[in-house]
Amino acid sequence: MSETDKRQQAITAAGNPAKPTGEAGEQMLARMNESHGPLTAWGLSHFNWRGDETVLDIGCGGGATLKRMSDCVTIGNLTGVDYSETSVRTSRQTNTEAIKAGKMDVSQGSVEKLPFADDSFDKITTVESFYFWPDPPENLKEVSRVLKKGGTFLLITEIYERPDLSPATRENIKHYNLYNPTPETFETIFRKAGFTAVTVHIEPNEGWICVEGIK
């Protein structure tokens, strides 16, 4: 392992990817804003945009996903939520202009009990956060609750259960106690949570997964 890789691992451990904190958390979020770019772009390509949507990003982290989606929302509104104070602060910094313009809001909250009314959003997404959720199958019901009828939820992530996961990835799954279902299990828990149509997209080259649920 290179010295750079060792430093990045140390920052990740200190920053706590499950709930980023402190200076190390800020450094980790900045790196994730950049490194998750290709995954995020691919996942969000499964949205069809009108431009007037109300959009929620759960586990908004450093705010890069919100910023990317804001280019597609011309007269709508975007909301970010994260239970990490460091993430909320960083996400607000990333999206200062959109927040000042009244186009976006970022607040602290948990997916266990989202601070929004029923049927609030046309589109909801989460990128690389689902496996940290307290009770993922149960928390999906909360996502479904705040999604409008006919709305779309995209769950975007690199990691899911498959035979070719590296030993290092499996060690991280164990270390952070990550929820790591198969594509088939994803479909099952989405349907149980109230999504009437579920499509599992797998990126053929990178092996990423985007689970699309329509309420």
Q: CATH number for the domain including 185?
A: 3.40.50.150
66 located within any domain: yes
Q: Of 155, 167, 93, which Cα lies nearest the Cα of 124?
A: 155
17 located within any domain: no
Q: Do residues 32 and 156 make contact, with C-beta atoms less than 8 angstroms apart?
A: no
Number of domains in the chain: 1
pLDDT in tens, the chain (215 residues): 333 233 233 323 434 455 545 544 444 444 555 557 899 999 999 999 999 999 999 999 899 999 999 999 999 999 999 988 988 999 999 999 999 999 999 999 999 999 999 999 999 999 999 988 999 999 999 999 999 999 999 999 998 999 999 998 898 889 888 899 999 999 999 999 999 999 999 999 999 999 999 99
Write the CA distances from 88 to 2, 43, 195, 198, integer angstroms: 32, 22, 28, 30
pTM exceeding the 0.75 threshold for the entire prediction:
yes
22 located within any domain: no
Residue 126 pairs in a beta bridge with: 155
20 located within any domain: no
Structure confidence at residue 209 (pLDDT): 97
Structure confidence at residue 189 (pLDDT): 98
Structure confidence at residue 5 (pLDDT): 34
